[in-house]
A and B are shown apart, each in its own frame.
Chain A
Amino acid sequence: MTARKGSSKESKGKVVRRKRREMKVKTVEEAKVGVFLSDCGGQIAKILDFEALTNFVKTVPGVALVARGSEFWRGEGLKTIVDAVKTKKINRVVVAETIPKISEIAIAKAVEEAGLNPHLVEVLDLKDHCAWPHRNTPREATEKAKAMLLAAIEKAKLLEPVEKAEFPALKSILVIGGGIAGMQAAEDLADMGFQVHLIEKEPFLGGLAAKAVRFFPTDDCAICIQSPATDLKTVTQTSRKCVYRSGFSEIPNLSVLTNAKVVKVEGGPGNFKVTVERKPRYVDEKKCVACDLCTSVCPVEVPDEYNAKLIKRKAIYINKPLVYPPAYAIDAKACKFHECAKCVEVCPTKAVNLDQKTEHVTLNVGSIIVATGFREYDPSVIKEYHYGEYPDVITHLELARMLDAFGPTGGVPVKPSDRKPAKRIVFVQCVGSRDRRWNPYCSSICCMISLKHATLIKEAYPDADVTICYIDIRTTGREHEYYYEKAREMGVKFVKGRPSEIIHDPATNTLIVEVEDELLRRLLELEADLVVLATAMVPSEDAKELAQILGIELDQDGFFKEYNAKLRPTETKRRGIFICGGAVFPKDAPTASLHAHSAAVKAAKFLMNGKIVKDLKVAVVNEDYCGNCQFCPVTCPYNAITLEPKGDGHFVAKVSELICEGCGVCVGTCPVGAIELRHLKPSQISAQIKALLSINGTSKPLVLAFSCSECGHAAIDSSGMGMMSYPANVRVLRVPCTGIIQVQHILEAFKAGAQGVMVVGCKPDGCHYEVGSQKAQKKVEMAKTLLQACGIEPERLEMFNLVFIEGDKFAEAAKAVTERVERLGLLQLA
Chain B
Amino acid sequence: MAGEKPLDFAREITNRLGGETITRCYQCGTCASTCPVARTTERYNPRQIIRLALLGQRDEVLKGDSIWLCASCYNCQERCPQKVEIADVIYALRNIAIREGNIPAIYTEFAAGLMSEGRLAPISKFLEKKRADYGLPPLKPTGMEAVKKILAATGFDKVMFKKEGASQ
Contact = CB atoms under 8 A, between A and B. Distances in A.
Contacts of A434: 26, 81-82
A435 B26 CA distance: 11
A471 B26 contact: yes
A478 interface: no
Contact of A436 (B38, B48, B82): B82
A498 B30 CA distance: 5
B32 A516 contact: yes
B29 A518 contact: yes
Q: Which of A497, A498, A514 has the most CB of B within 10 A?
A: A498
Nearest to B42: A521
Interface string A411-443: 000000000000000000010001111000000
B83 interface: yes
Which size class do A's interface residues fall under? 20 to 34
B154 to A, nearest CB: 33
A514 B45 CA distance: 15
Q: Which of A436, A516, A518, A523 has the most CB of B within 10 A?
A: A516
B28 interface: yes
Nearest to A471: B28
B27 A500 contact: no
B81 A430 contact: yes
A499 interface: yes
A515 B29 contact: yes
A496 interface: yes
Given A430-B28, A471-B28, A518-B47, A523 B33 contact: yes
Q: Which of B26, B32, B83 has the most CB of A within 10 A?
A: B32
Given A471-B26, A523-B38, A516 B33 contact: yes
B86 to A, nearest CB: 12
A516 B81 contact: no
A623 interface: no
A500 B27 CA distance: 13
A304 interface: no
Interface string B46-57: 011000000000
Contacts of A437: 81, 83
Interface in B56-88: 75, 79, 81-83
A436 B47 contact: no
A384 B32 contact: no
A501 interface: yes
A737 B157 CA distance: 62
6 tightest Cβ-Cβ pairs between the two chains A and B: A500-B34, A498-B28, A500-B33, A435-B81, A497-B29, A516-B29
22 contacts: A384-B79, A430-B28, A434-B81, A434-B82, A435-B82, A436-B82, A497-B28, A498-B29, A498-B81, A499-B30, A500-B30, A500-B34, A500-B75, A514-B33, A514-B34, A515-B33, A516-B29, A516-B33, A518-B32, A521-B45, A523-B33, A523-B39
Given A437-B81, A518-B27, A518-B29, 14 more contacts: A430-B28, A430-B81, A434-B81, A436-B83, A498-B29, A499-B33, A500-B31, A500-B34, A515-B33, A516-B29, A516-B32, A516-B38, A518-B47, A523-B39
